[in-house]
Amino acid sequence: MNKKDDPVQQLTAWKEVPADTDFTIYNIPFGVFSTPRRTARVGAAIGNDIIDLSAMQAMGLMEDLELENNLFAQNSLNRFIGMGNDGVNRVRAFIQKLLTEEDSSLREYPSLFVKQENAVLHLPVEVNDYTDFYSSREHATNVGKLFRDPDRALLPNWLHLPVAYHGRSSSVVVSGTGFHRPKGQMLDLHKDPVFRVSSRLDFELEMAFIINRDTPLGHSIDTTTALDHVAGMVLLNDWSARDIQAWEYAPLGPFLGKNFATSISPWLITTDALRPFLTEGPKPEIEQFPYLQFSGHANYDIDLEVSLIPEGGEENVIVKSNSKYLYWNIRQQLAHHTVNGCNVRTGDILATGTISGPQSSSCGSLLELTKGGKKPIKLKNDLKRTFLEDYDTVVMRGQAQQGSVRIGFGPLTGQVLPALG
């Protein structure tokens, strides 16, 4: 039986949450936060609050779980998710129980709840390595047409393997972090190389999964057990300077056009919380090698949205996509990443690649939405965009619903600041 068919137990929290919250009782994501009086530690989100797990453990409220000391008094989730998904699920189920039972001990300690508006959210994990896949067929086709020629949009390897490149972990930043417009080499109108500030700055709508344990060098992870290695997912914005990218990418792929900033959402949505939203993915078009095969639901039905907010302006929803469109799923991505014996480590971030869908409104980047900058998109108040302008803010959202079970990722925001010097 597919795990998706396990009914999700109906839960009702005594803790009030806004009707439209991403952080329902079914979610209970984990993150790292600080407050004016206390440094970064681990918490769980419910509604508009954060439960201070570090304080909870220190007060002895989690003794039944027999956890390692100071597991939550950490500035990253690495040690916590390093327990593996069984351990994380035990903590998550314990929190759900405390939030639903009437005589809960949590009710006696309102100070364990911190309002999210009074907290600063940090990167959820200490990022070891960052890899970016290229797994949406629609995105690869759209970009192939724009960067190369329409007749060979999809390169010959694409249907055989999940194409990827190694990104840079040092510039992975948490939601809310601004970054400066990059400078670099690019071609001018006459196709001569010039050095200047990028004028074709873009976003890429992606999701990413986070690895929960180190594997030994030489070890391969198979598609069957892949999710045991995945702590959960976040939203990811792979900011891209298309002018730099187009000149530099041959023959080794993205470099300075991508590594100046990559934003992720602060809350880790656990693999277990995502389970009710598993769904079928696109059928493979050609027979795949056995190490990439997986029968069963391996895609997630998560609605994704991108908004653009010009400086001082209104929010414009410009993309609506869904992660179910991904041709290569995360099981296949992880199996492929390790098939040669490449090891992974706790805190590694593996991104899906831009998630575009079949509709014109489901293009996950401005490059695609504007046909390479040729057709501006219209915004409210007579504004237009081909690529991002200084002080534009990009907001990404992800939400999933199955019957009464609903979860969300919380917003992923980032603002473009002017180039330095």
Residues designated as active site: 139
Cβ proximity to Mn ion: between 238 and 272 the closer is: 238
Tokens of 180: 């400066």
Tokens of 107: 């009710």
Residue 294 contacts by C-beta under 8 Å, 6 or more apart in sequence?
223, 224, 329, 331, 332
Shortest distance, position 237 Cβ to Mn ion, whole Å: 9
Write the DSSP symbol of residue 67: P
**Region for residue 277 given its phi and psi (left: phi exceeds 0; alpha: psi -120 to 50; beta: otherwise):** alpha
The Cα–Cα gap between 331 and 311 comes to 40
Shortest distance, position 413 Cβ to Mn ion, whole Å: 18
Shortest distance, position 353 Cβ to Mn ion, whole Å: 5
Residue 329 contacts by C-beta under 8 Å, 6 or more apart in sequence?
135, 281, 294, 298, 299
Shortest distance, position 98 Cβ to Mn ion, whole Å: 39
Strands of 113-115's sheet in order across: 113-115, 49-52, 38-46, 30-35, 120-122
Cβ proximity to Mn ion: between 135 and 338 the closer is: 135
What string of DSSP letters covers 285-349? SSPPPGGG---S--EE--EEEEEEE-TT---EEEEEEEGGG-SS-HHHHHHHHHTTS----TT-E
What string of DSSP letters covers 233-258? EEEEE--EEHHHHHHH-TTT--STTT
Shortest distance, position 171 Cβ to Mn ion, whole Å: 13
SS3 category, 99:
helix
Shortest distance, position 166 Cβ to Mn ion, whole Å: 12
Q: CA-CA distances (angstroms) from residue 40 to 105, 122, 123?
A: 24, 8, 10
Q: Which residues contact Mn ion by CB under 5 A?
A: 132, 204, 238
Residue 116 contacts by C-beta under 8 Å, 6 or more apart in sequence?
33, 45, 48, 49, 50
Cβ proximity to Mn ion: between 138 and 238 the closer is: 238
- Token pair 């939405």 is at which residue? 369
Cβ proximity to Mn ion: between 139 and 297 the closer is: 139
Which residue minimizes CB distance to Mn ion?
A: 238
SS3 category, 185:
strand
Shortest distance, position 280 Cβ to Mn ion, whole Å: 24
Distance of alpha carbon 186 from its chain centroid, rounded? 29
Cβ proximity to Mn ion: between 204 and 248 the closer is: 204
